[in-house]
Structure 1
Amino acid sequence: MQAVLRGASGSFLFGIPLLYTIEVWSIGSAAQPPLLLTVLGTTFVVVLLLTEIEGFRRTLTLHPLEAILESIEALGIGLVCAAIALVLLRRVTLETPLSEALGKLIFEGVPFSIGVALARSTLSRSLDNRARRTVNRPRLLAAPSLFSVRDTLVDLDATLIGTILIAFSIAPTEEIPILAADIPPLWLLLLMAASLVFSYGIVFASGFSDRSERRQRGLLISPITETLVAYLVALLASVIMLIFFQQLTLQDPWQEWLGDTIVLALPAAIGGAAGRILI
């Protein structure tokens, strides 16, 4: 189960930026079945090649049949994650024609599926490097409270850096107001809840970070507390980025401020989670 969560975490990390691209929505909506089959087959080949290198599970060697089965699973995880993201952002609804929904799903599923295959090789290796640095780092004599404050600041800094890396290129695009305009007020609550779940899953459930180690780090010793504080950082950073790119002004109604901020906070929260597991 943890391998699936690890793959899903990598899927969202790699797939979210392309999700906020109106051109992909349009191409997927107009694509014909032969093109969709070609895209799906090409994606499977790419995932298979990446799986043969390592795969998203912690497996040292993969036989050809195992690589094929794991590639099918990775492709399935990527498509499911892409479907969840499309529904969350209301790019696919009950009123969406089946052909249009399928086209969007397959095109958006490309980066999501590749993200599953890259989850282990990219994130787990960084985690291993961090663990080696932690083992080799000498222990300094200082008060525990000072270490707690320092570790807390490091976590917040990592959250902010990850937030900016993922969301900064999305903030100035026209997709943010387009998405926010199509999302009802109550749906924003679901988007907030999803952002918190994704952030928690990446940091605490995917196995990319040591939960026991994180409980001893900093002042945010509770996973729920850390997730909530990190999401507040993502919200604040989202507002600042939207103002910076003049996407929000004082003349705009508060509903627009709220909707745009929550929509951008989804990739921001995912980026912040990635930042925390890589420090």
Structure 2
Amino acid sequence: MTPPVSNSLREYARGMAGGLMFSLPLLYTMEVWWAGFVAEPMRLVLYVAAVFVLLLGYNHYVGLHQEASRWEVVIDSVEEMGLGLIVATGLLFLLGQIETDHTVFETIGKIVIEAMTVAIGISIGTSQLGGSDEGEEGGGKKPRKNDATFGGHIALAGCGAVLFASNVAPTEEILMIAAESHLVKLLGLVLLSLAIAAVILYYIEFTGSARLRSPSQG
């Protein structure tokens, strides 16, 4: 059954808001603008393909539409990439990063680099920020999507890693920390990251986290 237009528009708006919320620091990062400025066309194609695979995995296991078919998952992923291109283009234009003196390839590179991370933010924002209370009124439970298998966990972890690491990965500060920190401190950062991930997944009950637990842990 086709959802009402108002619901679709609400989903798009929610997704774009989520995309901005999760990727706004990246849109303001000069290093990312430069990465798109100098990126080779083949690398951009590979980047788009990799993000599309991540979106397919995320939408299949944790997407907003609980009973979506494979074709609907593909459509959702394409829509999210399209919205990412729109959001990234509009904001880069307002920030003065799309100018007439730039070549077409330089402009496309900037937009694509920014838009793909925005698309991941849109996917996560749409599924995690919306509809969390639906189906719970009156004591009912929201229908569960496919429980994530090992492949699902990899897709979720990949999306999360790209989304959050991209906020800092292109900066020079990361290289400086890696070069100046002792091995013990680096190992401590790894353990702290794992501990934070465990707390998010098993303790503070983010929306959808219960679906990633094994039945014995539920």
In the alignment, is the contact (CA less than 8 A) between 1:15 and 1:82 conserved in 2?
no
In the alignment, is the contact (CA less than 8 A) between 2:11 and 2:126 conserved in 1?
no
Structure with the largest fraction of helix: 1
The correspondence of residues 159-174 of structure 1 with structure 2, limited to 5 A, is none
Of residues 19, 22, 25, the one that matches 2:30 is: 22
CA distance in 2, matches of 1:26, 1:48: 28
Which consecutive unaligned segments of at least 5 residues does structure 1 have? 133-168, 174-279
The alpha carbon displacement at 1:127 in A equals 6.2
Check if 1:43 corresponds to 2:51.
yes
Letter of the aligned partner of 1:77 in structure 2?
Answer: L
In the alignment, is the contact (CA less than 8 A) between 1:47 and 1:117 conserved in 2?
yes
The alpha carbon displacement at 1:113 in A equals 0.3
Secondary structure of 1:60's aligned partner: coil
Q: Go from structure 1 to structure 2 and tell me whether the alpha carbon gap of 1:32 and 1:120 turns closer, same or farther (over 3 Å shift).
A: same
The correspondence of residues 62-211 of structure 1 with structure 2, limited to 5 A, is 62-124=68-130
2:42 corresponds to: 34
Question: Cα deviation per residue 1:92-124 (whole Å; 9 max; x = unaligned)?
Answer: 123321111111111111220001110133212
In the alignment, is the contact (CA less than 8 A) between 2:20 and 2:118 conserved in 1?
yes
Secondary structure of 2:100's aligned partner: coil
Of residues 4, 8, 11, the one that matches 1:3 is: 11
CA distance in 2, matches of 1:86, 1:104: 8
CA distance in 1, matches of 2:127, 2:12: 15
CA distance in 1, matches of 2:100, 2:128: 36
118-127 or 13-22: which moved more?
Answer: 118-127
In the alignment, is the contact (CA less than 8 A) between 1:51 and 1:117 conserved in 2?
yes
CA distance in 2, matches of 1:87, 1:120: 24
Question: Cα deviation per residue 1:215-263 (whole Å; 9 max; x = unaligned)?
Answer: xxxxxxxxxxxxxxxxxxxxxxxxxxxxxxxxxxxxxxxxxxxxxxxxx
1:54 corresponds to: 62
CA distance in 2, matches of 1:2, 1:94: 34
Q: Go from structure 1 to structure 2 and tell me whether the alpha carbon gap of 1:127 and 1:97 turns closer, same or farther (over 3 Å shift).
A: farther
The alpha carbon displacement at 1:10 in A equals 1.2
In the alignment, is the contact (CA less than 8 A) between 2:14 and 2:129 conserved in 1?
no
Question: Cα deviation per residue 1:134-157 (whole Å; 9 max; x = unaligned)?
Answer: xxxxxxxxxxxxxxxxxxxxxxxx
The alpha carbon displacement at 1:126 in A equals 6.0
CA distance in 2, matches of 1:93, 1:114: 26
In the alignment, is the contact (CA less than 8 A) between 1:48 and 1:71 conserved in 2?
yes
Letter of the aligned partner of 1:40 in structure 2?
Answer: V
TM-score, L = length of structure 2: 0.55
Aligned residues: 133
Q: Go from structure 1 to structure 2 and tell me whether the alpha carbon gap of 1:20 and 1:50 turns closer, same or farther (over 3 Å shift).
A: same
The alpha carbon displacement at 1:4 in A equals 1.3
Superposition RMSD in Å = 2.7
Which consecutive unaligned segments of at least 5 residues does structure 2 have? 1-8, 139-166, 172-218
CA distance in 2, matches of 1:46, 1:65: 16
TM-score, L = length of structure 1: 0.43
CA distance in 1, matches of 2:101, 2:13: 30
Letter of the aligned partner of 2:97 in structure 1?
Answer: R
